[in-house]
Amino acid sequence: MRIILLGPPGAGKGTQAKFISEKFGIPHISTGDIFMRNITEGTELGKKAKSFIDQGLLVPDEVTIDLVMNRLDQADVEEGYLLDGFPRTAYQGEVLCRMIRKGGQVLDAALLIDVPSSYIRERMPGRRICRFCGASYHLQFNPPEEVGLCDHCGHELAERRDDHAEAVEERLKVYEEQTMPLIEFFEKKKLLLRIDGTKEIEAVTREIFEKLSTLENHE
């Protein structure tokens, strides 16, 4: 299965990606998580991406597309993958579709986790993340078992560098201007599955699984 996840910042893409990737046995590839890891490790890629991410802006297409194309060249994604946070511009969408076509493959679905901006503004201040394994928590809606520690790996949880109010506003604006056109792009290709992301985490997962189970079995 080849699936992409669309949705505003904080929609729950990363949260749901963990469940989808487990159920279908496909690698979860989050461009945001890859950038964050590189920033933490101080790599060249991290240095290139940092100022854009901190301001809530997109990392330029040439950097991001190269990164994803290299990742999709690896052996573990031959049978499928779940892309979280890519594509995010019309151009990224075109490049991905061209690449999939060239490889004689198909994209199964573009899942849109839809959440209005008012919900996002309320959700963001409560998010905590594990920098070690990428898991995402929420002080109120998805607290870890032990306060301040990751359930999966025990590392300390932290706030995300781009979750302050100013960056969130910028990310919402960027989403509206640069990513929302992709909704229509995938709708025209009859690949869009709209999910109500305002419900509880478990209810959102259920809706995703129900909608994915209606797809034809491509491979």
Which of 8, 9, 14, 144 touches Mg ion by CB under 5 A? 14
Answer yes or no: are the C-beta atoms of 9 and 175 closer than 8 Å.
yes
Which of 77, 133, 149, 183 touches Zn ion by CB under 5 A? 133
**Of 10-18, 38-46, 64-72, 172-180, which segment contacts Mg ion by CB under 5 A?**
10-18
**Of 56-64, 94-102, 145-153, 209-217, which segment contacts ligand AP5 by CB under 6 A?**
56-64
| Side-chain-facing half-sphere of 186: CA atoms under 13 Å | 29
Min separation Cβ 57 and ligand AP5, Å:
6
Q: Residue 124 forms beta bridges with which residues?
A: none
Q: Is 12 annotated as a binding residue?
A: yes
| Side-chain-facing half-sphere of 106: CA atoms under 13 Å | 11
Quick one: 112 or 214, whose CB is closer to Mg ion?
A: 112
CA distance 60 to 66: 10
Min separation Cβ 152 and Zn ion, Å:
4
CA distance 149 to 171: 27
Q: Site residues for ligand AP5, window 92-151 (CB under 6 A)?
A: 92, 123, 126-127, 136-138, 141-142
Q: Site residues for ligand AP5, window 145-174 (CB under 6 A)?
A: 162, 171
- Written as six digits, the tokens of 33 are 């998580």
Min separation Cβ 183 and ligand AP5, Å:
14
Which H helix or E strand runs over 141? none
CA distance 151 to 52: 30
Nearest-CA neighbor of 112 among 214, 186, 179, 194?
194
Q: Is 118 annotated as a binding residue?
A: no
CA distance 141 to 123: 9
How many other C-beta atoms are found inside a 10 Å radius of the C-beta of residue 43? 12
Which of 23, 152, 189, 206 touches Zn ion by CB under 5 A? 152
Nearest-CA neighbor of 87 among 27, 29, 165?
29
Q: Given the rule CB under 5 A, which residues bind Mg ion?
A: 13-14
- Indicate which residues carry an active-site annotation: 13, 88, 127, 160, 171
Q: Given the rule CB under 6 A, which residues bind ligand AP5?
A: 7, 9-15, 31-32, 35, 52-53, 56-59, 64, 85-86, 88, 92, 123, 126-127, 136-138, 141-142, 162, 171, 197, 200-201, 204
Q: List the binding residues for ATP.
A: 10-15, 127, 136-137, 199
